[in-house]
Structure 1
Amino acid sequence: MSAQHKRKAQRGLLLSLMLLSPAVLAGVDETINAWATPVAEILSSLVFYKVSLFGSQLPLVVLWLVAAALFFTLYFNFLNLRGFGHAIKIVRGDFSQAHHPGEVSHFQALATAVSGTVGIGNIGGVAIAISVGGPGAVFWMVLAGLLGMSTKFVECTLGVLFRRENSDGSVSGGPMYYLEQALKLRGKPRAGRLLGGFYALGIVLGCMGIGNMFQSNQAYVQVVNVTGGSEASWLADKGWLFGLVLAVSVALVIIGGIKSIARVTSKVVPFMAVFYCVGALVIIAMNYEALPFAVHAIISGAFGSDSVAGGALGVMILGFQRAVFSNEAGIGSAAIAHSAVRTDKAITEGYVALLEPFIDTVVICSLTALVIVTTLYYEPGFFQGLGGIEMTSHAFARNIGWSPIFIAISGFLFAYSTMIAWAYYGLKGWTYLVGESRSAELGFKLVFCGFAALGCSIQLQPVLDISDALVFLICVPNIFGLYLLAPTAKRELRSYRQSIQSKTKPAKKTETINGNC
C-alpha cells in the first residue's frame, strides 16, 4: 500500500472514530444486545452442546478438537516431540533463502501466530480453570497443549501448501483455501468453495469479537484498574477515548499489511513473552518452598476422584478445554499467518508451527498455573469471589505489591498483539469472500478499528458470545479438511525427509584421471 493510501486510510479512520462519542453511543449497546441475545443463546447452545459422560458434562466441540489432536499425534508418529529440534533450526533461519516465495520469515510468521494465541486467557483463563477444576486441570492442560502441536503441524503445512500467490507478490492462505482444494480434488469444487466460504465468513465475524472487541475491552479494564479503579480513575468514563487511541495504534500497524504486522509482532511478542515469563519465574522462585506442594497437587488432582464434580474426568475436560481455547489448535486461524512465510517447502512451516502451542500452553499457561497453585499453599481458597485476571493479579501481588501494574502491562501487550494478528486473519477471510483489492482491504481495516474502539465504549456480551461460538464452530469443517488432507501432508513430510537425508549423506569418493572426474 502506497504512502498516499495509508494517509487516506488513517484520515478515514479518524473521521469514523470521531463519531464514537458517549452521546452517539448512548443506547446503542442496549439495542444491539436486545437483538443479539437470543441469537447468542441459540448459537452457543448449539456449538458448545454438552453430553453427559461418567457424571461430567462434556462439550462436544472440545472432544472434536482433542480427538483430532490425538489422531494426528499418532498418525505422524509423535512428530510433535521428535520434530522439536528441527523446528528450532528452521526458526533460526538455517534453511531460509531470500528468493523463496512468500512475504515474511519463519520467525516472523511464528511471532504473528503466537501473538494471536497468547492473550488475556493466558492470564485469566488458566486461573478460572484452576478455581473450578483444581490444580489437576493443569496436568491435562499441558497434555492437551502437547497433543495440539500435532494439529498445528498439519494445518499450517496445508496452509502453505495450498496458499494462493497474488499478482502483487502477496500470498493468501489458510483453511478456506485448503478446504476448497480438499473437496475439489474429490470432484466436488462447488462444495469445496461453499465450505471455504463458510470458514471465511466465520473467521471474519469471529475476529471482530474474540480477537478484537474482547481484547480491547480487557485492555481498557486493566488500565482503569491500575489507575484508580472504576471510582477514581480518570479514564473510568472515557472508554471512547481509550478506544480511539487503541484503534489508531492498531491501524498504524495493520494498514501496512502482513509485513508491517510481522515486523511489529517479531519485536513485541518476544518482549512480552520474556517480560511475563520472567515475572512469573520470579514469583515461583519466591514461593520455592511451595513447589513440592504444587507438583503433588497437580499430579494427584489430575487423577483424584474428589477434585471436582465428575471426578478425574471432569478435571481432564477442564484442562483440555483451557488448552484448546488458549492455543486454538484445530481452529485453523494460525494457518493464515503461517501461510505468508517465505519458503519453497510447505512442511518447514509445519515444523515451525509445532512451537506455537508449546510456547502458549506448555510454557506461558503453565507458569501462570504454577504462580496460582503455589499461592494456594500459603492462602488456600484465596480466589473466592475473584475473577480470572484478579486471581492471577492477587497471586502476583502476594509477593510483590506493585504486581497489578505488571499484570496490567502484560495484559495490554497480550491484548494488543492479539488484535493485530486477528486483524490479518479476518482480512484474509474477507478477501477470500469478496476478492483481493485495495478497497476491500481498506474497508475491512476501517471496520475492524471501529470495532476496537467500540469494545472499550459499550458492553456487547451477546455479540462476544456469538463471536466465540463462531470461532469454535469453524473448527468442525477445519478438522474435517485436515482428516481429508492428512495423507497429502504425510507425503510432503516423507518427501522432505528424503531431501534432507540426501543432502546430509557424505559424498562418494571418485577417482580422478588427468584432473577429470
Structure 2
Amino acid sequence: MSASAEVVAMTFADSFNAVLDKITEIVFYSVTINGAELPLIVVWLIVAAVFFTIYLGFLNVRGFKHAIDLVRGQYSKPDDAGEVSHFQALATAVSGTVGLGNIAGVAVAISLGGPGATFWMILAGFLGMSTKLAECTLGVKYRHYHPDGSVSGGPMYYLRDGVAKLGLPGLGKVLAAAFAVFCILGSLGGGNMFQSNQATLQLLDVAGVDESNKGAAFAIGGVFALLVGLVIIGGIKSIARVTEKVVPFMAVLYVTACLVVIFGNLENVPTAFGQIVSGAFTPEGIAGGFIGVLIVGFQRAAFSNEAGVGSASIAHSAVKTEEPSTEGHVALLEPFIDTIVICTMTALTIVITGVWNDPEAADGDGVRLTSSAFETVIPWFPNVLALAVVLFALSTMLSWSYYGMKATGYLFGDNATAENVYKVVFCIFTVLGAGAALDSVLGFSDAAIFLMSVPNVIGLYLLARVLKRELTGYRERVRTGEFAKVT
C-alpha cells in the first residue's frame, strides 16, 4: 500500500470510529443526579418494567407457579405448532442473556456502588420479569408460520402486524425495520465479537499466553467459529438441543462454585446481608449516595437481563403452543434466573469474601474481581471461572446468531438464503472478534442492542390493551379448566 493510500485508509478508519463513538455517546446519554450518572436508556427500560408490572397486576408474582408448571411440560401438547418445547425456548433465551455481564458486570457494579447495588439489582430483575412476559406473549401471538413447519416471530412481527391492526401500518413497518437493523448490528458486535474476544482472552490467560499473540487469538476464534457454525447450521432446533444441555450445566457449575465460596465464608453471611440491605438505603463513601447506588443496581440489571430489548421474544416465538400467553409466563422466569439467581450469586460471592473493598483485587477488571473472590477458598477455582466464562460466551453467541438470522430473514422477506448468508457472516465475525481491537465497534454494538428497546417498548405500549386481553382470557381458561394440564 502506498503512503498516500495508507493515510486515506487511516483517515477513513478514524472518521468511522468517531462516528460510531458519537452514536454510542448519544444512545447512552446520561443525566447527572446527585453526582451519579444515569443513562436515559436505563430509565426507558425501568419505566416500562414498572408500568407493565402494575398494569398486569403483578402477574410476575401471580403467574410464577404456573410458569414452572409450563416448563415442566404439564400443559405441553406435542402436536401444537412450533419447533421447540417450553424448556428449550427458555434455555435458548437464557443463554442469550446469561453472559459475561453476570460475572464481570456485577463485579463492576459492586465495586462502584457497594453491596447495596445488589438490592436494587434484584428489584430491577423482579420488575423486568413483567416486560419479558409482555414481549414474549406478543411474539408468539403475531408469529409467522412457514410451509416447512418452521416459525418466525419476535418484535419485528408484532411491531409490523400488531401495530397495523391498530390502524398505524406505516408506523409499524418503520418500528419493525428499525428493530431488525439494530438487532443485526447488535448480534454481530455485543452478541458475538465481544463474547469471542473476552472468552479468548480468558483462555490465553489460563494458558499463560500473552494476549498480544494474535495468531493464537485468531486460532481460538476459528475454533469458536467452527463450534458455533456446526450448531447454528441446523437452526433453532439445533440451537435449542445444545442450549437445553449447556445452560443447565453452566448455571449449576457456576452457582455451585459460588456456593462453595459462600459456605467457605459462612461466618460472614449475616454481615454481608446486612451490608446489602443497609448499603441500599444508607450507602457510605459512594459517589452519588443513595441515588448513585440505586442507579448502579438498576443499570446492571437492565444491561444483564435485557428486559424490554425484545431479543428473547425471537427465541420464545419458536415454542410449540397454541396459546401465546403460555410462553409469556415461561419468559418471566428468564430475568429471575439471570438476575435474581445468577447475578445475585455473583454479588454474594464478592460481598461475602470482602474482595470488593480491596482496591488491588480487581484493578478495574470485573472478571478479575470475581476471580479474586473464587481464589479466597480454593487456589485453582479461577480455572472453574474461566470455564464458566467460555461457556457463557459460547451460549450467548448461539442465541444471538439466531436473533440476527431471524432479523435478517425479516428484512429480506423471510428469505432462507439471506439467513444462510448471515450465518456465514456471523462465523467470520466470531474469528475477527477473537483478536481484534474492539473499543469503538463494541461500544456501538452495545448501543445497537439497547436501541432495539426504543421501537420495541413503543410497540409494547401501543399493544398494551391487546396484551392484557390476551393474558386475561388465557388465565380465565386455565381457571375454568378449558385449558387444562395434560394427563
**Cα distance in 2 for residues equivalent to 1:147 and 1:471:** 20
Counterpart code for 1:259: K
Following TM superposition, by how much is the alpha carbon of 1:185 offset from its aligned partner in structure 2, in angstroms? 1.7
Q: Which residue of 2 aligns with 1:185?
A: 165
Q: Which residue of 2 aligns with 1:112?
A: 92
Q: Which residue of 2 aligns with 1:352?
A: 330
For 1:297-308, what aligned pairs fall within 5 Å after superposition? 297-308=275-286
Q: Which residue of 1 aligns with 2:58?
A: 78
Out of 356, 364, 369, the position equivalent to 2:347 is: 369
Q: Secondary structure, in 3 states, of the residue corresponding to 1:477?
A: helix
Q: Secondary structure, in 3 states, of the residue corresponding to 2:81?
A: coil
Contact between 1:396 and 1:404, CA under 8 Å: does it hold in 2? Answer: yes
Out of 259, 265, 280, the position equivalent to 2:237 is: 259
Out of 189, 204, 220, the position equivalent to 2:184 is: 204
Contact between 1:133 and 1:307, CA under 8 Å: does it hold in 2? Answer: no
**Cα distance in 1 for residues equivalent to 2:439 and 2:10:** 11
Q: Which residue of 1 aligns with 2:108?
A: 128
**Cα distance in 2 for residues equivalent to 1:425 and 1:479:** 18
**Cα distance in 2 for residues equivalent to 1:307 and 1:350:** 41
Q: TM-score, normalised by structure 1?
A: 0.89
Q: Secondary structure, in 3 states, of the residue corresponding to 1:52?
A: strand
Q: Which residue of 2 aligns with 1:460?
A: 438
Q: Between the two proteins, what is the percent identity of the paired residues?
A: 54
Question: Residue deviations 1:199-236, cap 9 Å, x none?
Answer: 000000110000000000011000011111427x9x76
Counterpart code for 2:66: H
Following TM superposition, by how much is the alpha carbon of 1:239 offset from its aligned partner in structure 2, in angstroms? 1.2
Are residues 1:428 and 2:443 paired? no
Following TM superposition, by how much is the alpha carbon of 1:187 offset from its aligned partner in structure 2, in angstroms? 1.9
Which consecutive residues of structure 2, in runs of 5 or more, have no partner in the other structure?
1-5
Following TM superposition, by how much is the alpha carbon of 1:375 offset from its aligned partner in structure 2, in angstroms? 1.4
Following TM superposition, by how much is the alpha carbon of 1:499 offset from its aligned partner in structure 2, in angstroms? 1.1
Following TM superposition, by how much is the alpha carbon of 1:403 offset from its aligned partner in structure 2, in angstroms? 1.3
Out of 49, 61, 65, the position equivalent to 1:69 is: 49
Question: Residue deviations 1:385-424, cap 9 Å, x none?
Answer: 2401011011101111011211110000000000000000
Following TM superposition, by how much is the alpha carbon of 1:384 offset from its aligned partner in structure 2, in angstroms? 5.0
Following TM superposition, by how much is the alpha carbon of 1:304 offset from its aligned partner in structure 2, in angstroms? 1.4
Bigger mean CA deviation after superposition, 147-156 or 31-40: 31-40
Are residues 1:503 and 2:481 paired? yes
**Cα distance in 2 for residues equivalent to 1:329 and 1:255:** 27
Q: Which residue of 2 aligns with 1:515?
A: none
Counterpart code for 1:206: G
Counterpart code for 1:139: F
Q: Secondary structure, in 3 states, of the residue corresponding to 2:93?
A: helix
For 1:342-421, what aligned pairs fall within 5 Å after superposition? 342-376=320-354, 380-383=358-361, 385-421=363-399
Aligned positions, number: 479
Q: Which residue of 2 aligns with 1:323?
A: 301
RMSD: 2.1
Contact between 1:133 and 1:315, CA under 8 Å: does it hold in 2? Answer: yes
Out of 488, 492, 510, the position equivalent to 2:470 is: 492
Bigger mean CA deviation after superposition, 414-423 or 461-470: 461-470
Counterpart code for 2:170: R
Contact between 1:229 and 1:236, CA under 8 Å: does it hold in 2? Answer: no
For 1:240-279, what aligned pairs fall within 5 Å after superposition? 240-279=218-257
**Cα distance in 2 for residues equivalent to 1:179 and 1:337:** 16
Following TM superposition, by how much is the alpha carbon of 1:30 offset from its aligned partner in structure 2, in angstroms? 6.9
Q: Which residue of 2 aligns with 1:13?
A: none
Contact between 2:114 and 2:283, CA under 8 Å: does it hold in 1? Answer: no
Following TM superposition, by how much is the alpha carbon of 1:189 offset from its aligned partner in structure 2, in angstroms? 1.3
Bigger mean CA deviation after superposition, 181-190 or 88-97: 181-190
Out of 291, 297, 314, the position equivalent to 2:269 is: 291
Q: Secondary structure, in 3 states, of the residue corresponding to 1:383?
A: helix
Following TM superposition, by how much is the alpha carbon of 1:36 offset from its aligned partner in structure 2, in angstroms? 3.3
Q: TM-score, normalised by structure 2?
A: 0.95
Question: Residue deviations 1:104-158, cap 9 Å, x none?
Answer: 0000000000000000111111000001111111110010000000000000000
Counterpart code for 2:25: S
Q: Which residue of 2 aligns with 1:333?
A: 311
Contact between 1:209 and 1:467, CA under 8 Å: does it hold in 2? Answer: yes
Contact between 2:409 and 2:416, CA under 8 Å: does it hold in 1? Answer: no
Change (3 A) 1:417 1:464: same
Change (3 A) 1:354 1:405: same
Contact between 1:212 and 1:452, CA under 8 Å: does it hold in 2? Answer: yes
Contact between 1:136 and 1:307, CA under 8 Å: does it hold in 2? Answer: no
Are residues 1:44 and 2:44 paired? no
Change (3 A) 1:236 1:226: farther
Q: Which residue of 1 aligns with 2:151?
A: 171
**Cα distance in 2 for residues equivalent to 1:354 and 1:120:** 21
Which consecutive residues of structure 1, in runs of 5 or more, have no partner in the other structure?
1-25, 507-517
**Cα distance in 1 for residues equivalent to 2:37 and 2:345:** 28
**Cα distance in 2 for residues equivalent to 1:442 and 1:237:** 28
Contact between 1:222 and 1:408, CA under 8 Å: does it hold in 2? Answer: yes
Higher-Rg member (1/2): 1
Q: Secondary structure, in 3 states, of the residue corresponding to 1:230?
A: coil
Contact between 1:131 and 1:383, CA under 8 Å: does it hold in 2? Answer: no
Q: Which residue of 2 aligns with 1:311?
A: 289
Q: Secondary structure, in 3 states, of the residue corresponding to 1:67?
A: helix
Following TM superposition, by how much is the alpha carbon of 1:183 offset from its aligned partner in structure 2, in angstroms? 2.6
